[in-house]
Amino acid sequence: MDWQGQKLAEQIMQVLLSVFAVVSFVAGYVLGSFQMMMLVYAVGVTLTALITVPNWPFFNRHPLNWLDPSEAEKQPKPQVAVSSKKKSTKK
Amino acid sequence: MHSFGYRLNGLLTFAVTILALMCAITSLSDNFNTPSPSAEIKIININWFQKQPQGHDEVSLMMNVSADLQSLFTWNTKQVFIFVAAEYGTPKNSLNQVSLWDAIIPAKENAKFWIHTSNKYRFVDQGNNLRGKKFNLTMHWHVMPKTGKMFADKIVLTGYSLPEEYR
């Protein structure tokens, strides 16, 4: 998933859950059934999970251009900092 | 939100937080309910009225309890717990409340009822003050919610009295 996709996934998740919360509450209140509210909400959470959690292709529409491995080899590599100086005690 | 696990965790956390909010609003919606309950208790008979070996007065009554508590039920009601208590004063205690009978009403359909019963719990005094005693019978109820705040209230019925002598 690319950056844009992650942002999209989060937005869709927040909107869908909020909408389902409102819809399920209204459904439960109007029908006078607590069970109905919980059922609609559970369906909503599952649906939102199916849409936003897996790595669907439409979340990867702005893919990052990672450097090709053969190109990367030619670039200077970052050096690991090693302190090779040691103070030896001399009499 | 760069991995499956991150997104799943974020979604579940948000979903549960919103659920908590929904439950709070559901409980608040109970305040819009204006109940109009009614109850009537008749004492059909005094079965017996004696002084127990320990020295305390005890009475056994036959009662007819009828009530219409349907208006107490909302969509957020799990059950209604009701009990009938006898209330009176004595020189020793300014208020005595003795629970005589209780029941659980699981649904609105069962909330309009009558029952002919003797007292489920013993009506015993802390002393010998019951002869000729005037007392109230109070019907208390607790509306127990599926989520949130419990409402409790009562109806006080006055004008009951016990015989002057033991039977």
B4 contacts A53? CB cut-off 8 A: yes
- Whether complex ipTM tops 0.90: no
Length of chain A measured in residues: 91
pLDDT at residue number B26: 95
pLDDT at residue number A90: 56
Which residues of B are less than 8 Å from A6 in CB distance? Answer: 1-2
Q: What is the mean pLDDT of chain A?
A: 86
Looking at the partner chain, which of A14, A29, A54 has a beta carbon nearest the beta carbon of B14?
A14
pLDDT at B131 over 60: yes
Locus of tokens 């005693």? B133
Q: How far is B30 from chain A (nearest CA, A)?
A: 11
Chain segment A42-85, per-residue pLDDT in tens:
999 999 999 999 988 888 888 888 888 887 787 888 888 877 66
Looking at the partner chain, which of A9, A13, A25 has a beta carbon nearest the beta carbon of B14?
A13
B21 contacts A21? CB cut-off 8 A: yes
Q: What is the mean pLDDT of chain B?
A: 93
In whole angstroms, what is the distance from residue A32 CA to residue A38 CA? 12
- Phi/psi region, residue B97 (left: phi>0; alpha: psi -120 to 50; beta: rest), is beta
CB B153 within 8 A of CB B141: yes
Locus of tokens 């009938």? B84
DSSP letter string, B139-154:
EEEEEEESSS--EEEE
Mapped onto helix, strand or coil, the DSSP state of residue A74 is helix
Report the DSSP beta bridge partners of residue B97. Answer: B87
Q: What percent of chain B has pLDDT over 90?
A: 88
